Structure 1
């Protein structure tokens, strides 16, 4: 019974963690009315939760193997109580930066489930299982929609305090339903990393996830404030538009995992990058709101499928070192969400337009397309060679 509960429980854990992870970006249009934030600090305030949420994914993946998912999820939700409360009483943008860094625990837990859950299922189902777990990205949609609604009704400070109750619920669920007897892997992390760090697939998978998941995170934190400031929509409507982006990516991530169990992963990824390039070029034309959002949603669908495919590939090629590899790849995905808002802001400051930033984004995706075509052909040749021996 406990083992069967792990997929729904850990997916719920990820939903809860991600709802907390994006509190600042979702409430920034409201927070700005009470706390002065210099223009050159706006992008940093929304991006700082991504920093710790990315870097911690390596140790979180390792400790998920060493201690079990139950322990890591419990500890993470307990720690998150403190920055959430701190942000609810913040009075300066420095407070927002400090509290925001530690919100990163909510994003770091991603590498826990992708390390733990494959232990409970056969290899042929890993794509689908990790796709279902990745549906936990929906947590960001919940916050981008619900937090502005709560802020309108109760104020942004009280809206943040509601998340304290959510964290307490998750602590109780993991205490009672978490698997105390999950199989453990006790190989030292340095030894595991030494075994894989020269493998080009580790770094190329990291690059692919840097772009697919990074774009997902970047648009999640970038859209709410951008839609308000550049298109003049209200905070609640911006939250709805952003939530639709997130829901789309979360739902099709499950589809991406399922497709990767049945189709050629390399061809799927190539299609993902072609679609992302098309979406980025639409955004670079600086269109009206309707066409802009159409481009955003094309990117959303592509990101979701791409995220599902990458985490089919990771456990396929890295079995004994799944914890650290999941951590490295997912860390790079998180960092991929940190840079685009800063780069877009830099281009805006230098040129007065976001268009060059979106063109640079398209160029980075083109590099991934070239890399995935090369890697797919390389792996196909290896398989044919092995079959002919």
Structure 2
């Protein structure tokens, strides 16, 4: 029973964590009426919660494996009581920065669930499960939409205090319904980091999540104030539009995870980054509110699907180090939400427009698309190499002139010839001398006419022992129909031949 409630419980935990995480950015139009915040500092105040929310994801992902999700969520919600109360009593910009920094705990809990929940489900469901959990970032939409409405009635300070009740309720829920017997992994954190930091896929996934989740967080933080200042929208209207952006990205996250379970995840990421590139170019031209809405919604769709796909890939490639890798990747995503608003503010203060910032986003998205394409074909090459190296059949590959270019480990095991012995040589070095010239002439004539030949042939091992092969030779052609290489695959059937011979001799007697 307890195990069955972990997905809904941890998803709701994430909802609450993200609700708390964006309190300041959602209420900044109201807070700035009481606390003087210079325009050039506004982006810093709203982005500060992202800092700790990003950096803490590494230790929280690690300790979720060590202590279990129950303890980490419980402690996190108790710790959040202090910055939430402090912000509700804030009277200066410094108070907001200090309190906002520790609000980051709310965003950091993300790495807890993506580390814990896959333990309860088979691999083929990890994309959907992490997608459903990731949909907990709807918490940012709930606060962005509801906090301004409540603040118009009771003021922003009292609105912030309401979150204290929510945190206490969920601390209690985790105490009673969290899984006390979750499987633990206690490999030291530095040992885990040492095991993954040289893996290029870790840094590729970090870049991809930096863009997908980073843009989600950045737009969540930056849209309310941007829409008010640049398009003259009312505060509540801006909040509702931002909530719509968040809702679309959040709803599509489990869809992205589900699609990644069913389809090739890297192909989905290619489509994601192509849409990102086009959407960012649209936004770069400072369009009307209509076109700006289209561009923003395209970003929301890409962010949602991309986020779901990435956290299908992480446990697939890093099963044993999922905790630390989830922490690193999700940290980079959080930092992706910290830098863009500040960068956009700096660019705007220097140029008076946001175009350069959006063009930078389009170029990074395009570079990511290229990297995903490279990863896709690299995976295919690795798969081909694994098949080549692990098959039990001997394989040798020659060029069109018959010179051996490579052989597989099974070739060495069956013949005794090392790779260095045969590369650059002709397969004739293995001839036994039992077959006539006419035999080879007919064999190559058949290959020329039909593209392949198969049959029995006597050859010689490195130690001079003759053995019988079942050999298949295929001609490999390019797109123009020209033969570019020959591939021979064979098995040793000497024992089978001798057994049949002995059996036939017995019957003849």
Alpha-carbon distance in structure 1 between the residues aligned to 2:318 and 2:361: 29
- SS of residue in 2 equivalent to 1:195: helix
Give the equivalent residue in structure 1 for 2:212: 212
Give the equivalent residue in structure 1 for 2:441: none
Alpha-carbon distance in structure 2 between the residues aligned to 1:111 and 1:153: 35
- SS of residue in 2 equivalent to 1:4: helix
CA-CA distance at 1:300 after TM superposition: 0.2
Give the equivalent residue in structure 1 for 2:164: 164
Q: Which is richer in strand?
A: 2
Alpha-carbon distance in structure 1 between the residues aligned to 2:283 and 2:166: 36
Give 1:323-362 correspondences, 5 Å limit. Answer: 323-362=323-362
Alpha-carbon distance in structure 2 between the residues aligned to 1:329 and 1:125: 20
CA-CA distance at 1:345 after TM superposition: 0.7
Give 1:203-242 correspondences, 5 Å limit. Answer: 203-242=203-242
- SS of residue in 2 equivalent to 1:327: helix
- SS of residue in 2 equivalent to 1:130: helix
Give 1:1-389 correspondences, 5 Å limit. Answer: 1-388=1-388, 389=390
CA-CA distance at 1:367 after TM superposition: 1.3
Alpha-carbon distance in structure 2 between the residues aligned to 1:166 and 1:185: 30
1:86-144 alpha-carbon deviations (Å, 9 max, x no partner)? 00010011100000000000000000000000000000000000000001010000000
1:326-382 alpha-carbon deviations (Å, 9 max, x no partner)? 000000000000011011111101111011111111111111111111111111111
Alpha-carbon distance in structure 2 between the residues aligned to 1:209 and 1:244: 21
CA-CA distance at 1:235 after TM superposition: 1.1
Alpha-carbon distance in structure 1 between the residues aligned to 2:160 and 2:281: 36
Alpha-carbon distance in structure 2 between the residues aligned to 1:347 and 1:380: 41
CA-CA distance at 1:387 after TM superposition: 2.4
Alpha-carbon distance in structure 1 between the residues aligned to 2:240 and 2:322: 36
What's the Cα RMSD here?
0.6
Segments of 4+ moved more than 2 angstroms: none
Alpha-carbon distance in structure 2 between the residues aligned to 1:3 and 1:61: 19
1:163-190 alpha-carbon deviations (Å, 9 max, x no partner)? 1111011111101100000000011011
Give the equivalent residue in structure 1 for 2:425: none
Bigger-Rg structure (1/2) = 2
1:297-334 alpha-carbon deviations (Å, 9 max, x no partner)? 10000000000000000000001111100000000000
TM (norm. structure 1) is 0.99
Give the equivalent residue in structure 1 for 2:428: none
- SS of residue in 2 equivalent to 1:33: helix
1:24-73 alpha-carbon deviations (Å, 9 max, x no partner)? 00000111111000111100001000000000000000000000000000
Instruction: Report the more deviating stretch, 105-114 or 365-374.
Output: 365-374
Alpha-carbon distance in structure 1 between the residues aligned to 2:181 and 2:330: 25
1:233-284 alpha-carbon deviations (Å, 9 max, x no partner)? 1111111000000000010001000000011111100100000111111111
Q: May I ask how many residue pairs the two structures share in their alignment?
A: 389
Alpha-carbon distance in structure 1 between the residues aligned to 2:347 and 2:277: 19
Alpha-carbon distance in structure 2 between the residues aligned to 1:77 and 1:294: 37
Which structure carries more relative contact order (alpha carbon 8 Å, separation 6+)? Answer: 1
- SS of residue in 2 equivalent to 1:353: coil
Alpha-carbon distance in structure 2 between the residues aligned to 1:254 and 1:76: 25
Q: Which is richer in helix?
A: 1
Alpha-carbon distance in structure 2 between the residues aligned to 1:239 and 1:303: 19
